[in-house]
Structure 1
Amino acid sequence: MIADSKPYTRHDVSFTSGDAGCAAWLYLPAGVRNPPVVILGHGLGAIREMRLDAFAERFAAAGIAAFAFTYRHFGDSGGQPRQLLSIKRQLADWDAAIAHIQGRDDVDGGRVAVWGSSFGGGHSITVAARHPELLAAVSQCPFTDGLASARALGVVASLRILPVVARDLAAKVRGADPVTVPLAGPPGTLALMNAPDALPGYQALIPPGESFVNAAAARVVPTIAMYRPGRSAKKVAMPILFCVSEHDTVTPPEQTLRYASSAPYGEIRTYEAGHFAFYLGEPFEQLVTDQLEFLTRHLQPL
């Protein structure tokens, strides 16, 4: 637990999802009884240590409890095999996180929001559409359309990855360890993201001394291509804030903005920063300020 003289305390928490446990941090605002909660989930293969704490700290300092978790199969969460990126399982992790928060007696389970970034930003749209009891949602530089992201990756790069997918699917049938592909790599290399800012952007989020595996089981590629969470925006029955990068090399902003405009209670903010710049420096300050205003308005912390 982190206490010191900070306006919050951070607690190490775990909750069960399916066949394993998810590791999480719960940030509780100091001196606030039954605060509202925002649940935070990260992007493609990322772990909560990669700057989710920065957002959580700011939310907690403003009186909103923050619950940042790592998906199964990654980081210090459980689940075998390792580095398995399953959309179905990650959405189940979100459901389990919400259920865990709703069952706690140190937060207000009736005032809950979800916050997702990148791939998690797509999940937050899907989750918000499935959970009308939520009061708000934040979708940051969201992955909204697998086909659009595949086009951004490029036809040649997409085709080059298919043999690796085939080898991993064969490994799955044999019960062998997954055949993996890098999450982020230099331009022209075989990776799920290979835009010029992808690898340095990912590396910039890893704290010194933190262990991070830049890989995911290749079998996820077809499901990513078919995942179009932006289509669920029109079904989101609560206020949802879309924070969109105007220069996004991973999740094309044009398609995201079209989906965002279909949300009945959607609010859209656009930023000059690129996809990976959202977590640091001035872009982070702009984002967290806008998000705090939005969450305070809809969660009404005391």
Structure 2
Amino acid sequence: MTTRLPFVRHDVSFPSGDSSCAGWLYLPSGVASPPVVILGHGLGATRDMRLDAFAERFAQAGIAALAFTYRHFGDSGGHPRQLLSIKRQLTDWDSALDWVKARRDVDRSRIAVWGSSFGGGHAITVASRHPELCAAVAQCPFTDGLASALALGPVASLRMTPVLARDLAARIRGKAPVMVPIAASPGSPALMNAADALPGYQALVPKGKTFRNEVAARVIPTIAAYRPGRAAKKVVMPILFCVSDTDSVTPPAQTLRYARTAPHGEVKRYAAGHFDFYTGETFEALARDQVEFLTRHLAPLPASSAS
């Protein structure tokens, strides 16, 4: 059995755009200048919704990890709250990379990105724009807005039109955003209404914490138009696609088609749902596969060799 290294978690923040992102930096103990992986979450989720579990496994393998929360959510800055902007979130990723590259306690030449769900789509986009990265992981990634919209269903999509119109009007008038649920029961208007979406989100919330299940409705047309899977063909470093065979949110067939276009893409498939990826036996399988992939491409030194 592989020895798991101890680690130290630091509360950190870094500037991004007009505000800042809050994060946790995990540093493996006894490893000088470890490689580092940056982790970002999905739609409206914050880093305490199981990003910490993955970051801990990476740190135990000798890989430093920065798990951060996007602006406008959780304890990160940014106003108005619950604003989901693809452009701003991609800026947050770039800002995280800049912050990591300025640090002296990690190896700035060995950096990877890791994203899950909507963040998995971002990881593909970021990797395509940063050829200096050593590796990328896209977990149950959102790769095609049109495919996800079709999975949502036309009736539910149409039912969000009035709230979208009200939010766009509020934006023009400088008023507070009009919100739409992130996850809801089947048939209800929301960004996700698959049967496992709402209970899946709720299962990720730590005990004693709350989760704001809403975002500004103005994001709806930009999500539908976002197709980060198209950038896979431009990802020059090794990228691991972890795909749910029964994914109800990010249709796996389209993701697999995009994955095949990545020059150095690797695919792992799991007989588990989108929200099963974060807990239980499926999480354990994912963590093992991702640690193996990142170790292979980042080559962390064992603590005894780094001391």
Task: Give TM class, smaller chain.
Answer: over 0.9
Structure 1: which 4+ aligned runs deviate by more than 4 Å? Answer: none
Residue 51 of structure 2 is matched in structure 1 by 52
Report how many residues are paired: 298
Residue 80 of structure 1 is matched in structure 2 by 79
List alignment gaps of at least 5 residues for structure 1.
none
**How many percent of aligned residue pairs carry the same amino acid?**
74
Residue 181 of structure 1 is matched in structure 2 by 180
Aligned counterparts of 2:97 and 2:169: Cα–Cα separation in 1: 35
Residue 226 of structure 2 is matched in structure 1 by 227
- Counterpart of 2:139, as a letter, is Q
Alignment of 1:191-206 (within 5 A): 191-206=190-205
Alignment of 1:4-153 (within 5 A): 7-153=6-152
Aligned counterparts of 1:216 and 1:163: Cα–Cα separation in 2: 15
- Counterpart of 1:124, as a letter, is A
Offset, 1:190: 1.1
TM-score, structure 1 as length reference: 0.98
Which string of whole-angstrom CA distances, capped at 9 and with x for unpartnered residues, describes residues 122-178 of structure 1? 000000000000000000000000000000000111111111111001001111110
- Counterpart of 1:210, as a letter, is K
Offset, 1:210: 1.2
Offset, 1:188: 1.1
Which string of whole-angstrom CA distances, capped at 9 and with x for unpartnered residues, describes residues 58-116 of structure 1? 00001000000000000000000000000000000000000000000111111000000
Greater displacement, 210-219 / 141-150: 210-219
Change (3 A) 1:185 1:297: same
Residue 215 of structure 2 is matched in structure 1 by 216
The SS at the match of 1:221 is helix
Offset, 1:233: 0.1
Alignment of 1:157-172 (within 5 A): 157-172=156-171
Offset, 1:6: 7.1
Residue 155 of structure 1 is matched in structure 2 by 154
Aligned counterparts of 1:122 and 1:204: Cα–Cα separation in 2: 22
Offset, 1:211: 2.4
TM-score, structure 2 as length reference: 0.96
Aligned counterparts of 1:243 and 1:118: Cα–Cα separation in 2: 10
The answer on whether the counterparts of 2:48 and 2:205 sit within 8 Å (CA) in structure 1 is yes
The SS at the match of 2:27 is strand
The SS at the match of 1:81 is coil
The answer on whether the counterparts of 2:5 and 2:59 sit within 8 Å (CA) in structure 1 is no
Aligned counterparts of 2:210 and 2:88: Cα–Cα separation in 1: 23
The SS at the match of 2:109 is coil
The answer on whether the counterparts of 2:5 and 2:62 sit within 8 Å (CA) in structure 1 is no
The answer on whether the counterparts of 2:124 and 2:228 sit within 8 Å (CA) in structure 1 is yes
Measured on the aligned residues, the alpha-carbon RMSD in Å equals 0.9
List alignment gaps of at least 5 residues for structure 2.
302-307
Aligned counterparts of 1:125 and 1:61: Cα–Cα separation in 2: 25
The SS at the match of 2:200 is helix
Aligned counterparts of 1:162 and 1:139: Cα–Cα separation in 2: 30
